[in-house]
Amino acid sequence: MKAADRAHVFHSWSAQELIDPLAVAGAEGSYFWDFDGRRYLDLTSGLVFTNIGYQHPKVVAAIQEQAGRMTTFAPAFAIEARSEAARLIAERTPGDLDKIFFTNAGADAVEHAVRMARLHTGRPKVLSAYRSYHGGTQQAVNLTGDPRRWASDSGSAGVVHFWAPFLYRSRFYAETEEQECARALEHLETTIAFEGPDTIAAIILETIPGTAGIMVPPPGYLAGVRDICDRHGIVFVLDEVMAGFGRTGTWFAADLFGVVPDLMTFAKGVNSGYVPLGGVAISERIAATFARRPYPGGLTYSGHPLACAAAVATINVMAEEGIVENAADLGARVIGPGLHELAARHPSVGEVRGVGMFWALDLVRNRETREPLVPYNASGEANAPMAAFAAAAKQHGVWPFVNMNRTHVVPPCTITEEEAKEGLAALDAALTVADGYTE
């Protein structure tokens, strides 16, 4: 299996000859294991998508049952799994986001949300934040604010980046959350003014940025962006691909802030990645644009029956088993306090931030200066401290999510208290290695 992988599989975001993928034999719940029987507690939830853990029997059974009845069918028809998935999602989205356009993943959901916004407004530009990730397709990667954009940034995609709030590494010289919020909103207003409000179709934000560092926005920021969009006729898009479906201890992260966007993208947790699925939840106002005007977009596998059956089963399981509530409870009672305890003991931890099952540790060389443990976008020898931390975590039986100078703690939302404490103990040991690189 490993030989065939190395001979034929072209891996994403990788220099092909420099990687050595782990050969995985199986997975269940919060764990996976290799062919030598070594088991890992998965603190990454795959790529932050197995919100209900691996191999949940009810979802596996639903996929099997759907395969026996109807494996696939074209998207122009009404079928039970697709209709029911849309209904269940619409029941949980905030406000009037009641129309669901299905895609295959989060990146193409973002592509279609941007297309809808541009067609609705007749305007070309889209504003997105630095420290963001919106997907790897051409438009989505141009919207992305991290270095993965650079190689494919055409510079002519109608995208303008701006700074969103992040007090720990403030671009606005703020000292309080209130200052950071006010100055970030002022910066956005100024950006809009200089770009021309009548040229801007949409502002897209991750409700809580995920891969970029799990920076929970300060109180009032998203409401402020909503107000700016309303005043200038700009479509407000929230990207909930990573933060949605229980990850933050609510069905959607937008629920934490009482904000309703015009469009909202989703994927990952909608069916825990068991079968690829994404989508756009559409407000009544945007949907009305296409009531008698054809929407010029679609996908062969939009609302695929197997994917939608998995979504129906996942959403029902989450409701029946209190999985969203478990994420909120353990996040507030076990993981959050546990990470803060680690920060108190380890000089390599500069900041702890997060909510629910969505946490990050910002690792630093020096707490006073907040110098990151490794440079921005480090690779090779420059990234040695983070590589050493990750290796130590794996030696202690957890698979960590490592990005730049951060480790994210994003286990399945079904994790138990015992498993969470096991993960915290392993991180405690691994952070001792990171401490060796501090000043």
The listed CATH number (3.40.640.10, 3.40.50.720, 3.40.50.150, 3.40.190.10) that belongs to domain 57-320: 3.40.640.10
Segment 207-235 mean pLDDT = 98
In whole angstroms, give the CA distance from residue 112 to residue 296.
10
Stretch(es) of the chain classified as CATH 3.40.640.10? 57-320
Contacts of 138 (CB under 8 A, 6+ apart): 111, 152, 154, 157
pLDDT tens, position by position, 22-31: 999 999 999 9
Stretch(es) of the chain classified as CATH 3.90.1150.10? 2-55+322-435
CA neighbor of 312 nearest in space, from 360, 270, 281, 263: 270
Tell me how many helices (H) and strands (E) the chain has: 15, 16
Question: Taking all residues of the chain, what is their mean pLDDT, rounded to a whole number?
Answer: 96
pLDDT at 310: 98
pLDDT tens, position by position, 3-17: 999 999 999 999 999
- Residue 265 Cα distances to 106, 117, 176, 398, angstroms: 7, 13, 31, 30
Whether the pLDDT of residue 433 is over 90: the answer is: yes
* Residue linked to tokens 């076990």: 334
The listed CATH number (3.90.1150.10, 3.30.1330.10, 3.40.50.11260, 3.40.50.2020) that belongs to domain 2-55+322-435: 3.90.1150.10
Segment 327-350 mean pLDDT = 98
Segment 69-94 mean pLDDT = 98
Q: HEC string of 299-346?
A: CCCCCCHHHHHHHHHHHHHHHHCCHHHHHHHHHHHHHHHHHHHHHHHC
pLDDT at 417: 98
Question: Model's pTM, two decimal places?
Answer: 0.95
pLDDT at 150: 82
Whether the pLDDT of residue 157 is over 80: the answer is: no
State the pLDDT confidence band at 39, using cuts at 50, 70 and 90: very high
Segment 106-125 mean pLDDT = 97
Whether the pLDDT of residue 53 is over 70: the answer is: yes
In whole angstroms, give the CA distance from residue 361 to residue 339.
8
CB 89 within 8 A of CB 311: yes
State the pLDDT confidence band at 264, using cuts at 50, 70 and 90: very high
pLDDT at 106: 97
- Residue 33 Cα distances to 14, 36, 42, 57, 275, angstroms: 23, 8, 10, 18, 21
pLDDT tens, position by position, 124-155: 999 999 999 999 888 888 888 888 888 877 76
Percent of the chain having pLDDT more than 90? 94
Of 137 and 120, the structure prediction assigns the larger pLDDT to 120
Pseudo-torsion of CA 170, 226, 328, 84, nearest 10°? -140
In whole angstroms, give the CA distance from residue 181 to residue 359.
21
CA neighbor of 109 nearest in space, from 287, 282, 289, 283: 282
CB 232 within 8 A of CB 241: no
Count Cβ neighbours within 10 Å for each residue of 60-82 and write b for 16 or more, e otherwise: eebbeebeeeeeeeeeeeebebb
CA neighbor of 319 nearest in space, from 51, 45, 7: 51
Residues in the chain: 439
